[in-house]
Amino acid sequence: MEIREFAEQVLYGRTLAEKLAEPGEVTDLRPGLAMAAPEMPGRPAELLFKRVIGGAKEPAGLFPGTRHLDRGDERGRVLHFFANHELLAVELMALALLRFPEAPAAFRRGLLKTLRDEQEHTRWYMDRMRACGVQFGELPVSGHLWRLLAGMETPLDYVSGLPLTFEQANLDFSREYGRAFAAAGDAETATLLERIHRDEIGHVAYGLKWFRRWKDPALDDWQAYERQLQFPLSPSRAKGGVVQVEGRIAAGLDDRFIAELTVYGRSRGRAPTVHCFNPLAEAGIAFGPGYQPSEIQQTLVEDLSILPLYRAVRDDVVLVPHKPSTPFLTGLVQAGFAVPEFEELVGGKIDPRGVLTERALGGLNPWAWSPDSIALMGPLVEKVAVSRRPELRPFDAARAALYGKPWSADFLRRWLGTVEPEGWLCDASVVGTTVTTPAEAWAAIGAIRARGQHRVGVKAELGLAGNNVVRLWEPEVLPAQRRWIEGQLAAGRRLVVEPWLERLGDFSVQFEMGREGLRVVGYTGLQNDLRGQFQSNWAEARFERRPPSAVLRALGSGAVEKVPRDLGGRLHGLYLELATMLEPELRAIGHEGPLGIDAFVHRDAAGIARLKPVVEINPRHTMGRILLELMRAIAPGRTGRFRLRSLKEVRGEGHADFPAYARHVSLVTPWKREGEPVPRLVSGTVCLSDPATAKGWLAVLEVGDGPG
């Protein structure tokens, strides 16, 4: 039988007997002319590609889960999926033989051998699924793999797409499912999957041999492979949940290829959410379109641009000025973090030639919705599904006001007027007063001091982490302070004047405003420096429903009668009450997404510990929200601390630079993971941004077993 004759029988046959028949002695004397791909291969009626109800599209072909494999019907369902996958590979290999008759004879012989292996795999799966009571064809099957690969134009397209992508991925899936079947007591299927794993090593090696022969010699294997795959194909489809390094080494893949593949991220079907880091939103709102960040601010943005990674999931996209290095991302994967796809900005904008412009998107998630993020992400709005599309109307005064300290002070004053007085809750005397003229400012300062509170803080309407604040601690307002206050007001910026309180414990409450309402995400402790700039925060066990223990101890330490016994539960209830008033106001403004409220416990003039439940409302992501997302990677009952280390700090501790500091913590406090089925961090330190490229700041996660 001629190879062409056999390939036509496999591709167009309408019975499994035709498709899985052994060809016997085969020659390749008449390869014929190149043929075009049919819309779909010939198949028995019961194995035609099924469409979802309504005929909108076919199933995406995602791998089934490993739960419930103790049930025969579930094992049969999984094996049915695998059998269809193998049959699709058989059909695509037959198509390649017909599409590329002028390919080298050795390539065609190797392809024929691989096809016959895949026929055998299909028969094996059919035998095993019958033993589980399932017949091939009684369940819907997907043609997703056919749609992705049938358009191949060259033999290089074929080896890149099937052997080096989908068969390479099977190195992982065969091991993953083999372990799952073994755990379910099905040793026979587990053994079968191990045999298939060994065959796939040979298939990948075959593809790699010809890939190296045909690729651009100026590129290494990884560069050539990544460039060869055209959207929607990507290297993310060449791996499963855990990359099996040994199998890839046996197939001949080099260390760089394996390392890059391990950390590569791109959605395999789900429409991704796009994230970006724009922490200077408030400054941009305050100073307008002409705002130019300082060199220090720009360094902070670049050093920490990776932070949205910890809010993202594996299939998402994070916009960054520069992609993180492979060694750094490899360390994150080893520490248990999912690595998404990174898209480099070009001149601070989305590359109009990049892959994002071709893809359907599931949502947009900037650090803050503000004029800069609207300008950056606006071109992507039409790519988002209508049901999840944000309303990017102009950034009006109401939305801008939500970022300002006057809005927070006004909300707190109004909310305090709606609740029953409590001995441990502050009163309106500590709430800031908004002023618009120097006369109002001096009057507000005088009124606070007349109540015996000598220290006063004056805050600009919009500021960044302790900036744009003056502390009036001297008996008289100093000339420089007077000039600053008068200059801010002359520029049309409002100020908030408030008593400077003796803080006993700071914390934050993280919320999420969705279309279904405002919900509490959790609580973190908060540590700032003397200027009010963020240093670190921490989260403890039960962070979803109570503030950290240090905050509760501080509030319970004052000489106040009627301190609730369940203070943590009472505070949680208080913030649930606060949310009922805040939610409709946010909805009226049009805010959706993350929101954080900073709060603290302070000691009043009588020595009583009281709670100021709202210091600032931040309608955006905060470091506290990032920490709560990080807690997903930390074992239950452990404490996580998110810390920003400055270069000055680490040098003060005797380290030459951030890489030296990272080496030190890896030796002194190495991270450790424990637990099943998914290990989580139980101790140690993880660098969350890349020490090799950080210039001014490094984000660090510290995991321990005690209170923060």
Q: For residue 390, is the peptide bond before it cis, meaning its omega torsion is within 30 degrees of 0?
A: no
Query: Is the distance from CB of 616 to CB of 598 less than 8 angstroms?
Result: yes
**pLDDT attached to residue 105:** 96
Query: Is the distance from CB of 126 to CB of 35 less than 8 angstroms?
Result: no
∠ CA 362-367-370, rounded to 5°? 100
Say how far apart CA 148 and CA 144 lie, in whole Å: 6
Phi, psi (rounded to 5 degrees) for 320: -140, 155
Strand, helix or coil for residue 636:
coil
Q: Is there a domain that residue 354 lies in? A: yes
Q: Is there a domain that residue 629 lies in? A: yes
pTM for the predicted model, two decimal places: 0.84
Q: Is there a domain that residue 702 lies in? A: no
Question: Strands 469-472 and 680-687: what pairing?
Answer: unpaired
- Adjacent-strand bridge partners of 564: none
The whole domain housing 411 covers 402-633
**pLDDT attached to residue 53:** 41
Q: Do 459 and 555 have their domain in common?
A: yes
- Adjacent-strand bridge partners of 498: 457
Q: Do 114 and 172 have their domain in common?
A: yes
Q: Which residue is listed with tokens 């993280």?
A: 510
Q: Which residue is listed with tokens 């889960």?
A: 65
User: 10 Å Cβ neighbour count for 36?
Assistant: 9
Sign of the torsion angle spanned by Cα atoms 262, 266, 268, 272 = positive
Q: Is there a domain that residue 359 lies in? A: yes
Strand, helix or coil for residue 110:
helix
Q: Is there a domain that residue 282 lies in? A: yes
Say how far apart CA 49 and CA 407 lie, in whole Å: 57
**In sequence order, what are the residues at sequence separation of 6 or more whose Cβ sits closer than 8 angstroms to the Cβ of residue 575?**
509, 520, 597, 613
Burial status of residue 290 (CB atoms within 10 A of its CB: 0-12, 13-18, 19 or more): exposed
**pLDDT attached to residue 414:** 96
Q: Do 174 and 252 have their domain in common?
A: yes
Q: Do 474 and 498 have their domain in common?
A: yes
CA nearest 586: which of 363, 317, 338, 402? 402
Strand, helix or coil for residue 58:
coil
326-334 helix and 255-263 helix, angle to the nearest 10 degrees: 60
Say how far apart CA 325 and CA 694 lie, in whole Å: 12
Q: Do 296 and 243 have their domain in common?
A: no
Name the strand (E) or helix (H) holding 580.
Answer: helix 567-589
- How distant is the alpha carbon of residue 585 from its chain centre? 29
Ramachandran category for residue 542: left, alpha or beta (phi over 0 → left; psi -120 to 50 → alpha): left
Q: Do 29 and 124 have their domain in common?
A: yes
User: 10 Å Cβ neighbour count for 489?
Assistant: 18
Domain end call among 263, 282, 298 = 263
Q: For residue 421, is the peptide bond before it cis, meaning its omega torsion is within 30 degrees of 0?
A: no
Here the tokens at position 588 are 């009226």
Walking along the chain (708 residues) 10 residues at a time, the average pLDDT comes out as 96 96 92 94 93 46 76 93 97 98 97 97 97 94 94 97 98 96 95 97 98 97 95 92 94 96 85 93 85 91 96 93 94 94 93 85 92 90 79 74 95 94 87 96 95 92 74 91 94 94 95 94 90 87 92 76 73 95 94 95 91 96 97 96 96 97 97 92 97 96 86
Say how far apart CA 362 and CA 380 lie, in whole Å: 11
Domain end call among 596, 615, 633 = 633
Query: Is the distance from CB of 384 to CB of 361 less than 8 angstroms?
Result: yes
End-to-end CA distance of the chain: 74
Q: Is there a domain that residue 619 lies in? A: yes
Say how far apart CA 116 and CA 177 lie, in whole Å: 23
Here the tokens at position 645 are 């280390």
Q: Do 329 and 233 have their domain in common?
A: no
Q: Do 624 and 526 have their domain in common?
A: yes
Q: Do 356 and 420 have their domain in common?
A: no
Q: Do 245 and 355 have their domain in common?
A: no
- Adjacent-strand bridge partners of 304: none
| Residues 464, 466, 470, 473, Cα dihedral to 10° | 170
Q: Is there a domain that residue 582 lies in? A: yes
**pLDDT attached to residue 681:** 97
Q: Do 234 and 303 have their domain in common?
A: no
Q: For position 626, which CATH number holds?
A: 3.30.470
Query: Is the distance from CB of 52 to CB of 81 less than 8 angstroms?
Result: no
Q: Is there a domain that residue 664 lies in? A: no
3-state per-residue secondary structure call for 136-161: CCCCCCCCHHHHHHCCCCCHHHHHHH
For the segment 234-292, what is each residue's pLDDT rounded down to a tens digit?
Answer: 999 999 988 999 999 999 999 999 999 999 988 777 889 999 999 999 888 888 878 88
∠ CA 208-211-216, rounded to 5°? 140
Length of the chain: 708
Q: How many domains is the chain built from? A: 3
Strand, helix or coil for residue 468:
coil
- Adjacent-strand bridge partners of 503: 602
Burial status of residue 226 (CB atoms within 10 A of its CB: 0-12, 13-18, 19 or more): middle
Q: Do 292 and 417 have their domain in common?
A: no
